[in-house]
Amino acid sequence: MAKDITFTCTACNASTTKWSGRCDSCEAWNTIEEVKPLTGGPKSKKAMGGGRGKQINLTDLATLEPEPPRTLSGVGELDRTLGGGLVKASAILVGGDPGIGKSTLLLQAAARFARNGLKVLYISGEESASQVQMRARRLGLTESPVKLASETNLRDILTTLEAEKPDFVIIDSIQTMWLDTVEAAPGSVSQVRSAAHELTTFAKQNGIAVVLVGHVTKEGTIAGPRVVEHMVDTVLYFEGERGHQFRILRAVKNRFGPADEIGVFEMTGKGLAEVKNPSAMFLSERGDPAPGSVVFAGIEGSRPMLCEFQALVSPSPHSQPRRTVVGWDGSRLAMILAVLESRAGVPFTGLDVYLNVAGGLRVSEPAADLAVAAALISAREDAALPKDCVVFGELSLSGGLRAAPQTENRLKEASKLGFTSAITPVRAKRGGDSGVSMREMRDLHSFVEQVFGER
């Protein structure tokens, strides 16, 4: 019973388990008072118990904190994806498939930031310093004052960081780092988590911006970047199809800028090059109008981006027809096939369906629904849409069409690339004139009728 009651000194805040006339800590008289426990919950070892904590300072929303300082790399696609440059004392995770180009991207970024005045350290746990130097030579970056190290022991790395005091550190990759206090093997969930925790805490305390590279892994004992996503300020994924030269850097979480922002790069013989006009690039290999090909006017992050959806529909030899998707969501395709069948009377039973986004792009916007539906019907009917036409709009399960955000921006981009017409949902609001003629559709049924004729 006596154990549950705690006494504190009102003068110096020291706590004791028994009352006395004089405080042992500050030697003041008559200052010891009894305090009631904070919560009346169970008194197990794991509960907080009765002890009081320190009172924390509260502030209000109006208090102005200065904006964190940012540094630009000069690579527009990278700076935009970071939310407007690299923030001091921040932690960034860059995830991606092995071999997609993470090390290449970060070595190039390191060189740019170093040239812009930051003290940059590149620590590789996968390659030797000479391998990194070889890559730097190939990329023409040997002049940049980036410091290299090949190391995996986190204790040594932190000691080095403390002595060197860099502004920007790249850890390639977090899965190779290990702490001597954790018994598990490098790459295991507990090692990856602890290493990421140590590095991010150290970086924040010392004003260092740190990038953790993480390989995306198939389910297994090796931990993927997902286990550290919550610990960092910014999560970027580097995506692309192995066979294509395009690479997309996508911000999926950003405490310092908009998420969903993307940067587009091209893998060349001399490293990654910025793609300033991705729409033109993604449509560059488009030939004459073909059945199943539809241009979608999309929005990625803050900017419009045109890309081509390609569909192929053929009689299936299997009892269970195939549904294959590259660059789009498979379950969303199933939904659109179902809506087409029940609301517009276009069945796909007994037909194999293949859907692909040209150029290795991944589209996740719901506004692509109508473009996908158009590609599917066009492939099924063997009828091509006009060459100069873009399509966008979200489809509801009732077969209705919903207006997509940023219609004006989509139309402007389409117009810039020489498109003259757009098939869109009916919208209430009208903006400026983009020079693109709009064919507005109320629902999927009227879309099928008007575009592909009476059935």
Binding residues for ligand TYD (CB under 6 A): 96, 98-104, 135, 138-139, 267, 269-271
Chosen from Mg ion, ligand TYD, none, partner binding at 104 (C-beta under 5 to 8 Å by type):
ligand TYD
Q: How many CB atoms lie within 10 A of CB 323?
A: 16
The encoded tokens of residue 108 equal 């190039």
The encoded tokens of residue 70 equal 């940012």
Cα–Cα separations (whole angstroms), residue 63 to 56, 59, 67, 453: 16, 7, 12, 62
Contact by Cβ (8 Å): 157, 198: no
271 versus 292: smaller Cβ distance to ligand TYD: 271
106 versus 157: smaller Cβ distance to Mg ion: 106
111 versus 325: smaller Cβ distance to ligand TYD: 111
Least gap, CB of 127 to Mg ion (angstroms): 7
Rounded (5°) CA angle 388-298-230: 165
The encoded tokens of residue 214 equal 């993480």
Residues that bind Mg ion (CB under 5 A): 103
Binding-site sequence positions:
96-103
Least gap, CB of 103 to Mg ion (angstroms): 3
Chosen from ligand TYD, Mg ion, none, partner binding at 269 (C-beta under 5 to 8 Å by type):
ligand TYD
176 versus 254: smaller Cβ distance to Mg ion: 176
Chosen from ligand TYD, Mg ion, none, partner binding at 304 (C-beta under 5 to 8 Å by type):
none
User: 235, 274, 276, 238: which is closest to 257 by C-alpha?
Assistant: 235
DSSP for residue 166? -
d(CA 225, CA 101): 16
The encoded tokens of residue 211 equal 């990038």
Chosen from Mg ion, ligand TYD, none, partner binding at 263 (C-beta under 5 to 8 Å by type):
none
11 versus 273: smaller Cβ distance to ligand TYD: 273
Least gap, CB of 107 to Mg ion (angstroms): 9
d(CA 326, CA 347): 22
Least gap, CB of 312 to ligand TYD (angstroms): 29
User: 382, 350, 356: which is closest to 371 by C-alpha?
Assistant: 356
d(CA 199, CA 320): 50
User: 406, 407, 415: which is closest to 434 by C-alpha?
Assistant: 415
Q: How many CB atoms lie within 10 A of CB 277?
A: 13
Least gap, CB of 136 to ligand TYD (angstroms): 9
Chosen from Mg ion, ligand TYD, none, partner binding at 96 (C-beta under 5 to 8 Å by type):
ligand TYD
Binding-site sequence positions for ATP:
96-103
Chosen from Mg ion, ligand TYD, none, partner binding at 356 (C-beta under 5 to 8 Å by type):
none
d(CA 336, CA 372): 8
The encoded tokens of residue 247 equal 């690479």
186 versus 304: smaller Cβ distance to ligand TYD: 186
Comparing every residue's Cβ against Mg ion, the nearest one is: 103
d(CA 108, CA 104): 6
196 versus 444: smaller Cβ distance to Mg ion: 196
Q: Kindly report the backbone phi and psi dihedral angles of residue 430, in degrees, each rounded to the nearest multiple of 5, phi listed first.
A: -120, 135
Least gap, CB of 233 to Mg ion (angstroms): 22
Least gap, CB of 151 to ligand TYD (angstroms): 17
Chosen from Mg ion, ligand TYD, none, partner binding at 225 (C-beta under 5 to 8 Å by type):
none
